[in-house]
Amino acid sequence: MNNSLTIVPAGAGSGKTYRIETTLADWLDKDEVRADRILAVTFTEASARDMKSRIRARLLQSGRSDDALALGRAYVGTIHSLGQRLLTEHAFAAGNAPTSRLLEDTERDLLIRSQIGKAPSLQPIAENLSRFGYRFTPQGGTAEDQFRGKILSTIDLLRNLGPRGSDPKLLDDLIDTMKVDYGKTKKQNKLHAALKSAVQNMFKAFPNDVSETVSAKTRRATLRADHQLIRSAAQTDRLQTDWAAWQKLRSLFISNSNSKLPQGYDELAEAIIEAADGLELHPGPLNDAIEHITGLVNGAQEIVAAYDMEKRQRGLIDYADMIARTEEILRETPDTLQAVLGEIDCVVIDEFQDTNPVQFALLWRLAQHAPKALIVGDRKQAIMGFQGADPRLSQALDDQFPDALDPLRCNWRSVPEVMEFVNSVGAGLFGTDYEALTPQAAPGCANSPIQYVNEISILLSICYA
């Protein structure tokens, strides 16, 4: 670290955009930064346009029209546009053709899907989808559709990890974590024998379902389903591998104040429930989970390797490449990193909480070496989890550089009545990690009751994100 670093935790309505605008203006006014040597990044096109227009407007208001024009040459935009620009300017260092074509989403999916059937690690799962929990549902479609969806999401997660996603040791770490989380197991044969005996005792005592002994329609349907499960478990070997059946047997219906079942039924059902509760200590589910994650991770890594090779041969890139390959060349070719750093005076990052690991690596590689760096974000507003974003990265940065923290503590958007409520909820959700924002608006200045409702809804959605 040889720069001036400022980290700004900024809650909703605290004025983070204004802070970015005024900080850049101050640097420009003091001639510490040139307009064409600004690198400013955010995560949506709309936010990038707004940031650029605000900086330009500030320059024009100060009579600095030349700087306003020079801003067009600066790196101001989304992280993907930054990656695309650097890949274009340093194509040979990245091993790309200077005119690499960006894949459309449909083309990307087609190339990836064409590799799924060629990945040998996926075959054990594909040959027994039901064993690993894939079965038709109205919402998710066929078992095959769900399996393909799981593969694609695994591929996206691995690519968001950067080089870590292709590391063979990643799988070992995942399996070790699974074993720790699952806990110690008991002997499989003993657990299975106890449950098998319990369901056979029930089926022997009640070979027909007892649904007609209750009046409620929903209760009758539940008892019929229970009986079908018990009969299947007693007459087949499904309990050897069907952990969903074990789970269902843990919640059999028994008598209550409104529905009385035949004498002896409840005792036998409770014996089944007690035996099925051993599922949490049964090694079978853990073994299957390990086999499942092994096939998915190895298969996804095989597909990504083949997909990357095909892209390079065809002179193609996709959106993930804009980040992953840019991070790679900055990490592996110091001359390229120095060339980029030689063109910038500062790094400004907005919405930093929405970075995934490879985005974090790319941005931090630049920010930690730039003469000036301003990083703004709020972990409570993280919304990009579906893209692998991890707000713990932002937390780790805060913890490593406590002296660089300069939080915004005021709220300029909401009335005190709303902020009192939100601060109370925030403290309950996040404890000491939540920093209350002091409202600056006058009491009761909302235009209508609807505005109160809208503000509360928006702020609560942020708190629960």
272 in any annotated domain: yes
The 10s digit of each residue's pLDDT in 92-109 is 766 666 667 888 888 888
Is there a single domain that holds both residue 180 and residue 292? yes
Is there a single domain that holds both residue 277 and residue 288? no
Is there a single domain that holds both residue 234 and residue 269? yes
Give the DSSP H/E element, type plus range, for residue 398.
Answer: helix 392-400
C-alpha distances in Å from residue 133, one per residue of 42, 126, 169, 241, 445: 39, 11, 26, 11, 54
The 10s digit of each residue's pLDDT in 45-96 is 888 888 888 888 888 888 888 888 988 889 888 999 999 889 888 877 666 6
Q: What is the CATH number of the domain that holds 357?
A: 3.40.50.300
User: What order do you get walking across the sheet with 346-349 strand by strand?
Assistant: 4-9, 372-377, 346-349, 38-42, 75-78
Report d(CA 265, CA 157) in Å as an integer: 48
Is there a single domain that holds both residue 180 and residue 303? yes
Boundary (domain end) residue, out of 223, 257, 281: 281
Tally Cβ neighbours within 10 Å of residue 162.
21
Is there a single domain that holds both residue 289 and residue 277? no
Is there a single domain that holds both residue 170 and residue 28? no
Q: Is pLDDT larger for residue 259 or for residue 229?
A: 229
426 in any annotated domain: yes
Give the DSSP H/E element, type plus range, for residue 463.
Answer: helix 449-463
Report d(CA 76, CA 415) in Å as an integer: 33
Show the CA angle centred on residue 65, arms to residues 61 and 69, nearest 5°: 125
The 10s digit of each residue's pLDDT in 423-455 is 777 776 666 666 776 766 666 555 444 444 555
Is there a single domain that holds both residue 247 and residue 292? no
362 in any annotated domain: yes
53 in any annotated domain: yes
Is there a single domain that holds both residue 8 and residue 85? yes
pLDDT of amino acid 96: 62
Asked whether 255 and 289 are in contact (CB, 8 A), the reply is no
pLDDT of amino acid 319: 86
> Average pLDDT over the chain, rounded to whole?
85
8 in any annotated domain: yes
What phi and psi values does residue 41 have, to the nearest 5 degrees? Answer: -130, 140
pLDDT tops 90 at residue 239:
yes
Boundary (domain end) residue, out of 297, 314, 331: 314
pLDDT of amino acid 257: 85
pLDDT tops 50 at residue 462:
no
Three-state SS for 280?
A: helix
Three-state SS for 167?
A: coil
Show the CA angle centred on residue 157, arms to residues 156 and 163, nearest 5°: 100
Its domain, for residue 441, covers 411-463
Q: Is pLDDT larger for residue 104 or for residue 193?
A: 193
Question: Residue 301: is it exposed, middle or buried by C-beta count within 10 angstroms (0-12/13-18/19+)?
Answer: buried
268 in any annotated domain: yes
Is there a single domain that holds both residue 258 and residue 379? no
Boundary (domain end) residue, out of 314, 336, 370: 314
The CB-side HSE value for 15 (13 A sphere, CA atoms) comes to: 17
Is there a single domain that holds both residue 54 and residue 127? no
Q: Mind spelling out the 3-state secondary structure of 234-256?
A: HHCCHHHCCHHHHHHHCCCCCCC
Q: How far is CA 202 from the centre of its chain?
A: 45
159 in any annotated domain: yes
Is there a single domain that holds both residue 141 and residue 271? no
Residue that the structure tokens 């936010």 belong to: 47
The 10s digit of each residue's pLDDT in 144-180 is 999 999 999 999 889 888 888 999 999 999 999 999 9
pLDDT tops 50 at residue 464:
no
Report d(CA 276, CA 202) in Å as an integer: 14
| Structure token digits, residue 376 | 């703004």
E-state strands within 275-371: 316-317, 346-349
Nearest CA-CA partner of 232 in 141, 32, 240: 240
Given pLDDT bands bounded at 50, 70 and 90, which one contains residue 9? confident
Asked whether 350 and 362 are in contact (CB, 8 A), the reply is no
399 in any annotated domain: no
| Structure token digits, residue 430 | 């996040």
Q: How many structural domains are present in the chain?
A: 4
Pairing outcome for strands 438-439 and 410-411: parallel
Query: Which residues, at least 6 apart from 240, have a Cβ–Cβ distance to it below 8 Å?
Result: 192, 284
Is there a single domain that holds both residue 49 and residue 61? yes
